[in-house]
Amino acid sequence: MTINYNERIPNNVSLSEDKQLQRALERWQPKYLDWWREMGPEGFQTKDVYLRTAVSVDPQGWAQFGYVKMPDYRWGIFLTPPEKDRRVNFGDHKGEAAWQEVPGEYRSVLRRLIVTQGDTEPASVEQQHQLGRTCPSLYDLRNLFQVNVEEGRHLWAMVYLLMKHFGRDGREEAGGMLERRSGDADRPRILGAFNEKTPDWLSFFFFAMLTDRDGKYQLASLAESGFDPLSRSCKFMLTEEAHHLFVGETGIARILAKTCEAMKRIDSDDPAKVRAEGAIDLPTIQKYLNFHISVTEDLYGSEISTNAANAYTMGVKGRFEETKLHDDHRLANATYSIPDLVADRIVVREAPALTALNERLRDDYIIDCQKGVDRWNKVLEKGGTDARLNLPHKAFHRQIGIFEQVHVSPDGRVLAEAEWTRHHADWLPSEDDHAFVQSLMKPVTEPGKFASWIAPPARGINNQPIDYPYARLS
Ligand SMILES: [Fe+2]
Ligand SMILES: [Fe+2]
């Protein structure tokens, strides 16, 4: 399973033994690089950045660190080693040998899942295209670029599956991945959250914490797939994803630490006074949290979904940690509690577990987010304030599923239109909030220096000091 770096496309899948596939990927590669130069980090393509590159897939020591110009990054195809005698672990085919090829009857479902996942990867790079210009430090700049190149690699992972297993359709889909653009009116990315803007670093850190975490949950359920190459691709992607979540969580924690410092210094939590100190006030941070979690919750789809049920029954997409769950892994008679609307009240009712799989995955995700919020609240506690961040009710500000038709407050009350209009600026970032956060976005590029609104990290990357030149800009 060692990675062959002598080939044009680094890989651990013996690509050179499949000449047709190798040629197809080598034809796609220059188009990918064109896309990267156009939509990758603007203004930094010729700079040396201290990046990690995958050199093996074993959990210890898979990464190597060094200066790389981003267009020279060795994007490649890395799957975790095959598991001996792996089986389909759920659905109608439970117990059968895992598939090495796509079962004909599941082709379109698998293709849709892979394309939908793959499309999110370049989308986030596009959303973060301009952020480097306003980095709060070289350390953060490097982390942004690390996330970006790895999202690019995730695209490679999905394009490999499409080209190897889906013939001409797969090659066409691979082309489409480079043609859609985040936020474009005519050819947008497939999923809503990936067409939102990431205009500032507060948004970026929430995106990495919350939206990359959706990625973790989607990848984890695809890693359960009976289609073994998909499972092995997703398992290695999850290894990389962990760093993205770290960047997001610690980014917000460091912002909170700075906010607490400011509040202590002025002995006030008055947002205007906190802002005057060059820190971000807690109400604004809460509003950004509300926004990012609600658009990300939409990514899980409708509460009731026959698509989700079918994907499970077919054995192509499992539940989070499927093989650690103790039940029959078929769910024919099982139920699951889902939210519903009765008149203008939110109630809970039982639904068939199979059709409720989207809701279940969303709930698993929210539990994980809550743990992150609890860790942030420890930072606030340590910082000497009684204020806390809260996850809004999952019905808040939703555009997909049953709550699309109603307005719901962060504490879960269904609101009349007028009340929503009166209050939504208290719950979601207003133009003024965006403008304030934007006003803080001034680049800080001296090694070891940080913007006024974010604390230094506890430690550097790869045991390097905090004032290490993580990017060479001159
Ligand atoms: Fe990704
Ligand atoms: Fe990610």
Tell the burial category of 54 from Cβ atoms under 10 Å away from its Cβ (0-12, 13-18, 19+).
buried
Number of helical (H) and strand (E) elements in the chain, helices listed first: 13, 7
* Cα(175) to centroid(ligand 1), Å: 18
Whether residue 91 contacts residue 312, with contact meaning beta carbons closer than 8 Å, is answered with: yes
Band of residue 366 on the pLDDT scale cut at 50, 70, 90: very high
Ranges 56-70, 205-219, 388-402, 452-466: which has the least confidence: 56-70
pLDDT, averaged across the chain: 96
* Cα(35) to centroid(ligand 1), Å: 17
Of 282, 276, 275, 292, nearest in space to 257 by CA? 282
Band of residue 282 on the pLDDT scale cut at 50, 70, 90: very high
* Cα(338) to centroid(ligand 1), Å: 28
In 3-state terms, what secondary structure has residue 140? Answer: helix
pTM (predicted TM-score)? 0.97
Average pLDDT on 78-105 reads: 97
* Cα(310) to centroid(ligand 2), Å: 27
pLDDT in tens, 125-145: 999 999 999 999 999 999 999
* Cα(124) to centroid(ligand 1), Å: 8
190 backbone dihedrals φ, ψ, rounded to 5°: -70, -40
* Cα(56) to centroid(ligand 1), Å: 18
* Cα(235) to centroid(ligand 2), Å: 13
* Cα(240) to centroid(ligand 1), Å: 8
What does each C-alpha distance from 242 to 150, 162, 201, 263, 453 come to in angstroms?
11, 24, 19, 32, 25
Asked whether residue 44 carries a pLDDT value surpassing 90, the answer given is yes
* Cα(150) to centroid(ligand 2), Å: 7
Asked whether residue 59 carries a pLDDT value surpassing 80, the answer given is no
Q: Ligand 2 (ion): which residues have CB within 5 A?
A: 212, 215, 241, 244
Asked whether residue 62 carries a pLDDT value surpassing 90, the answer given is no
* Cα(63) to centroid(ligand 2), Å: 16
Q: Check residue 60 and give its pLDDT.
A: 74
β-pairing, 345-352 vs 335-342, is antiparallel
* Cα(79) to centroid(ligand 2), Å: 17
pLDDT in tens, 441-451: 999 999 999 99
Report d(CA 327, CA 338) in Å as an integer. Answer: 19
* Cα(271) to centroid(ligand 2), Å: 32
| Number of alpha carbons in the 13 Å side-chain half-sphere of residue 158 | 28
Report d(CA 137, CA 447) in Å as an integer. Answer: 7
Band of residue 1 on the pLDDT scale cut at 50, 70, 90: low
Band of residue 425 on the pLDDT scale cut at 50, 70, 90: very high
Band of residue 7 on the pLDDT scale cut at 50, 70, 90: confident
* Cα(121) to centroid(ligand 1), Å: 5
